[in-house]
Structure 1
Amino acid sequence: MRLHRNLVFATVDALSEIFNEGKYADKMIEKALKRDKRWGSRDRSFIAETTYDIVRWKRLYSEIAEVKAPYSRENLFRLFAVWATLRGITLPDWKQIEPTPSRRIKGKFDELSKIRKYRESIPDWMDEMGVKELGEKIWEKEIHALNEQAPVVLRVNTLNISRDNLRSILKDEQVIAEPVKGYPDALQLEERTNVFKTEAFKKGYFEVQDANSQLVAHFLEVEPGMRVVDTCAGAGGKTLHIAAIMENKGQIIATDIYENKLKELKRRAKRAGVHNIDPRAIDTTKVVKKLYGTADRVLIDAPCSGLGVLSRNPDAKWKLQPEFIENIKKTQAEILDTYSRILKPGGKMVYATCSVLPSENQEQVEKFLAREAGKNFKLIKDKKLLSSVTGYDGFYMAMLENTEK
Structure 2
Amino acid sequence: MRLHRNLVYAVIDGLNLIFNEDKYADKVVQQLLKRDKRWGSRDRGFIAETTYDIVRWKRLYGEIAEVKEPFSRENLWRIFAVWATLKGIQLPDWKQLEGTPSRRIKGRFDELSKIRKCRESIPDWLDDMGSKELGEATWEKELKALNQQAEVVIRVNTLKTNKKALQALLIDEDIATIAIKNYPDALQLKERSNVFKTEAFKNGLFEVQDASSQLIADFLDVKPGMRIADACAGAGGKSLHLAAKMDNKGQIIAMDIYGFKLKELKRRAKRNGAHNIEPREITSTKTIKKLHNQMDRVLIDAPCSGLGVLRRNPDAKWKLKPEFIDNIKKTQQEILRDYSKMVKPGGKMVYATCSILPSENQDQVKAFLQSENGKDFGLVKDKKVLASTSGFDGFYMALLAKKQ
TM-score bracket, shorter-length normalisation: over 0.9
CA distance in 2, matches of 1:321, 1:217: 31
Query: Matched residue of 2:350: which SS?
Result: strand
> Residue 159 of structure 1 aligns with which residue?
159
User: Is 1:381 the equivalent of 2:359?
Assistant: no
5 Å-filtered alignment, 1:3-402, equals 3-402=3-402
SS at structure 2 position matched to 1:380 = strand
SS of the aligned residue for 1:374 comes to coil
The CA deviation at 1:246 is: 0.3
AA aligned to 1:98 is E
Measured after TM superposition, the shift of residue 99 of structure 1 is 1.7
Show structure 1 runs of 5+ residues with no match: none
Q: 1:263 & 1:185 partners in 2: Cα distance? A: 25
Shift of 1:174: 0.1
Identity %: 72
Distance 2:190 2:322 in 1: 37
Give the TM-score normalised by structure 1: 0.99
Q: Distance in 2 between matches of 1:221 and 1:118?
A: 43
Deviation of 1:311 after TM superposition, in Å, equals 0.4
**Secondary structure of the structure 2 residue equivalent to 1:104:** helix
TM-score (norm 2): 1.00
Q: Distance in 2 between matches of 1:60 and 1:268?
A: 39
Q: Deviations over 1:215-272 (max 9, x none)?
A: 0011001010000000000000001000000000000000000000000000000000
User: Which 4+ runs in 1 deviate beyond 4 A?
Assistant: none
What's the offset of the Cα at 1:98? 2.4
Amino acid at match of 2:383: K
Letter matched to residue 221 of structure 1: D
Q: CA RMSD in A?
A: 0.5
Superposed CA offset, 1:192-220 (max 9, x none): 01000000000000000000000001100
The letter for the 1-side match of 2:269 is A
**Hey, what's the Cα distance between the residues in 2 that align with 1:96 and 1:106?**
19
Give the residue type in structure 2 aligned to 1:121.
S
Gaps in structure 2 of 5+ consecutive residues: none
Letter in 2 for 1:180: I
Give 1:97 shift. 1.6
Residue by residue, what CA displacement relative to the aligned partner does 1:10-62 show, whole Å, maximum 9, x if unpaired?
A: 00000000000000000000000000000000000000000000000000000
